[in-house]
Structure 1
Amino acid sequence: MPQSVVHHVGSGTTGGKNSDFSVYHGHRNLVWMFVKDMPGLLFWLLLPLHVVLNLVSIAWFVLCGQGGVILRAKRDALLGLPKMWCKRQQIQKGRIVSIGEIWRVLDKRLLPIRRKT
């Protein structure tokens, strides 16, 4: 049994949570993860909200001076959708957890609670 414990602080090597690297990869991958991993019924029910929140995030990062990086992230996310849709087929075929169980564990808050560090 390992004796070491590692505590991940987050974004330490990427320049912080609002660095261009973090914004790009986080927001590109957010789209890809939703497409690959959200099960059937929840996918279609939550897709409108997902699209709206993506548009809000684009507006926010444009206002914060990171318009180029967020637009690049969303463009690349869209360009990668065919590959993610193929991955979705594989992932959803192998899913053993029910949609109800997934719904129960989803964080349903629109705005995350910020933790003080």
Structure 2
Amino acid sequence: MSIDIDQFDERSSEELAELSNPEQVLKFLYENRDRAWKAKEIASRTGINENSIHPVLSRLEDRELVRHKGPYWAITDDTSRLRQAYDTHRVTQLFDDLYGEEDRDEWIEASEQVDH
């Protein structure tokens, strides 16, 4: 996907970074927190593939960041939980930028060495 050259020139790197699917869903639901949405509409409005939206919403519900009733989804009304999740995400992102992303295979290998 391309962007307008004015957007490229005027926006910071952070503003141009692509959001993950969960980030897009949370941003959309937060910006539209006065309404509840069907999953298909959330997918359409965020550009997320319809096959991916239900797993994303389910994971967010497991983390108590969204609410679900019938076919409708809404952002959590627990703003402190939402803030905590956002802060944790930003710190993790900062550490990834400073030290590089963690490698799951390295963690598994290291834990196996400790166990023996």
**TM-score, normalised relative to structure 1:** 0.26
Q: Which has the larger radius of gyration?
A: 2
Q: How high is the TM-score relative to the length of structure 2?
A: 0.26
Q: Kindly indicate whether structure 1 or structure 2 has the higher relative contact order, using CA contacts under 8 Å at least 6 residues apart.
A: 1
Instruction: Give 1 or 2: higher strand fraction.
Output: 2
